[in-house]
Structure 1
Amino acid sequence: MLNRSAARRHHDPEDVITATIRDVAAAAGVSPATVSRAFGRPEKVDESTRRRIVEAAERLGYQPNRAAQSLTTGRTGNIGIMVPDLANPFFTSVLKGAQHQANRLGHPVLLADTEEDPSAELRFSRALAQQVDGLVLCGSLMSDDEVLQISRLRPLVLVNRQVPKLPAITVDNAGGARQAVTHLRALGHRRIGYVAGPPGSYSNAERYQAVSEHAEGAGLECVPVGHFEPSFEGGRGAADQVLLAGVSAVVVYNDVMALGLVNQLVAYGVAVPAEISVVGFDDIPIAAMFTPALTTVRIPREQAGGAAVAHLHALLTGGRPVPPPDLTTELVVRGTTARSR
């Protein structure tokens, strides 16, 4: 028979003995009760001690018994994250940042994709609230009243959405829009279009308002070009209306739509950017791989996801809320913008 320490050094998985709470306590130099509090009631343990315990647990492969903790503390340790569309690389990047931060803080993550449906988001939020300690809502399409309903069930943090009196991680959409308009004006464009996303989207409304205000302030004409699904096919579907609008450049709600628009314009034989310039929003990875590469407004997506989870953790543990990071936007000029004819 192998003793415990020998078993841990052995490389055969069948011989490895699962680490216990006492093993973690010994490795971290604390009592088993402190280890239990670190995972069940982290607000009762100072940050340096908790970090030492988490590192010891990771080294030993220790997994706390979440079911037992839930019975004794009324908490699961889980957090829920809601996104409108997992197929959109923007939300995949936000999730990556959120998951990384959740792992660091010891929170298992439950995920729901609402498929751009506000009623589904409300149903999923209510269901998730029964299984988690808190929620992160990314780009929520629910009404303010519906979001407030969910906030009464569980603490929550919003990403790229604002509701009065609720914590939110927001990006500088207005600054990005200003950079896009300034860039197009410098290229000689005087009549620009805005290709809108869903009518109920907070970020869409914010981006359109910013583009139109900055265009007016710069002496440009801004033409609204309908509302379309925030997808590649939605962007392709916007091509006819863009051409009918008689604009020399467009700013598009997001990159996925912008890429679809460019794809359809090229299929029509329209030269991009020689005949029409296109600017997206988000700077998803494929934007740089596309031909022509997309000019777009870069948003710090992973940083936003991580900041939301850090803020939620502070709410759940009674800690001091983490100051929101400076999520500035940046115009990345590539191949879909050029001087106006």
Structure 2
Amino acid sequence: MSKSMTIRDVAKAAGVSPATVSRTFVHPEKVESVTRDRILALAKEMNYRPNAAARSLITGLTGNIGIVVPDLTNPFFPTIVRSVQRKAEQLGYSALLVDTGEDVQHEPELTENLARQVDGLVLCSPRMSDGKLIEISSRYPLVMINREIPEVPAVTIDNRSGIAQEVAHLKALGHHRIGYVAGPETSYSCLIRQQAASELLAEAGLEEVSIGRFEPTFDGGRSAAQQVLLSSVTAVMVYNDVMALGLINQLTQFGVNVPENLTVVGYDDIEFSSMSSPALSTVHVPRNDSGVLAMDYLDALLRHGANAPQVPARLPTQFIFRETSRRLGSPLVAQ
């Protein structure tokens, strides 16, 4: 078995003291750049890993970050979690994960319990109130994804632009009476998308029909199908892709052909959207980029505090035209 490298081995190879090696990993900004780069290169070559427990005692930091998601079974979130985790590893952190199960009441408690065990948090689409998020962010370093509060660091998505692209697409296809299937009121992105849809459909001279609020799941989408049938719309905008796929599944069982009888567009561009048949027209959300940026932002907060550089205000979205939308034919009328 090969000998494990120690801090003294790295120090000897680099021609510096063990204290300088320790400082390189604990306070790299205090080590001259040429020396720091030489030590880091040798440490990597020698497969040296600093002792996490010892570093924690010195710095008060754990070397861990926490990721909080509302529902890990929702295909929107695993890509974000993976990108945060990979970036965290590149930056020298380990990641701990908590799934709050869409439980708004217990989300603050679960978040704070995790915060006590880590150096900082990445909150993916948190459901708790603005006031609670501001309170938690005043005590723990954190970055939100897909939630916007002026006082709290965040990486946000340009949800309104995605809705605008959907509306323009449906108008170009000749649709005039358009339904909107909403998700839960506790979802920030749902409220933003729904509000944007109402405003932009009106501005375009199109009629909006509110189908109602449903769980942001495949079954939630299926449960919206009957209301869609009763609405006499020719196109439906759905809060997210998972719901849109569930809606199409149930409509198919009812004998409704998508897109021949009804156009359906989703939002998020999860992996299943392009794999389904018919492939789902949707809005692409840069989930991988949002995770990477959020982790970079959190790392900057941990290193520089209030002086951390800002990230772009909003990441762009892009409409993806696939097989579930087509030019208007005969309106769908419930039998």
d(CA) in 2 for partners of 1:174, 1:224 = 18
> Please, which of 13, 16, 19 is the counterpart of residue 2 of structure 2?
16
3-state DSSP of counterpart to 2:90: helix
Residues paired across the two proteins, number:
327
1:162 Cα deviation from its structure 2 partner:
1.0
Q: 1:8 corresponds to which residue?
A: none
> Equivalent residue for 1:282?
268
Within the alignment, does 1:233 sit opposite 2:219 as a pair? yes
The answer (yes or no) to whether the contact 2:155–2:314 under 8 Å persists in 1 is no
Deviations 1:234-270 (A, max 9, x none): 1111111111222111111111111111111111110
Structure 1 residues 301, 56: closer, same or farther in 2, change over 3 A?
A: farther
Identity %: 54
Tell me the residue number matched to 1:207. 193
Q: Using a 3 Å threshold, how does the CA distance of structure 1 residues 69 and 226 change in structure 2: closer, same or farther?
A: same
Matching residue's letter, 2:154: A
Secondary structure of 2:174 counterpart: coil
1:234 partner SS: helix
Q: Which stretch has the larger CA shift, 188-197 or 50-59?
A: 50-59
Pairing partner for 2:319 from 304, 307, 331: 331
Instruction: Name the counterpart of 1:133.
Output: 119
Q: Is the 8 A contact 2:155 2:311 kept in 1?
A: no
Sort the Cα spacing of 1:203 and 1:45 in 2 relative to 1 into closer, same or farther, 3 A: farther
Q: 2:204 aligns with which of 218, 221, 226?
A: 218
- In the alignment, is residue 168 of structure 1 matched against residue 154 of structure 2? yes
TM-aligned CA distance change 1:104 to 1:195, over 3 Å: same
Shift of 1:47: 7.3
8 A contact 1:82–1:137 mirrored in 2: yes
CA distance in 2, matches of 1:72, 1:277: 60
Instruction: Indicate how the Cα distance of structure 1 residues 82 and 245 shifts in structure 2: closer, same or farther if over 3 A, else same.
Output: same
Contact 1:254–1:280 (CA under 8 A) maintained in structure 2: yes
Written as runs of structure 1 = structure 2, the 5 A alignment for 1:124-203 is 124-203=110-189
**SS at the partner of 1:226?**
strand
Answer whether contact 1:40 1:77 (CA < 8 A) is retained: no
Question: Which structure 2 residues correspond to residues 29-178 of structure 1 after superposition, within 5 A?
Answer: 31-45=17-31, 53-54=39-40, 56-178=42-164
Residue of structure 2 aligned with 1:305, choices 284, 291, 298:
291
CA deviation after TM superposition for structure 1 residue 120, in Å:
2.4
Contact kept, 8 Å, 2:71 with 2:100, in 1: the verdict is yes
The one-letter amino acid paired with 1:62 is Y
Q: Does 1:270 align with 2:256?
A: yes
RMSD in angstroms over aligned alpha carbons?
A: 2.0
Distance 1:31 1:244 in 2: 77
Q: 1:149 to 1:274 in 2, by over 3 A?
A: same
Structure 1 pair 314–234 and aligned structure 2 pair: CA distance change class (3 A): same
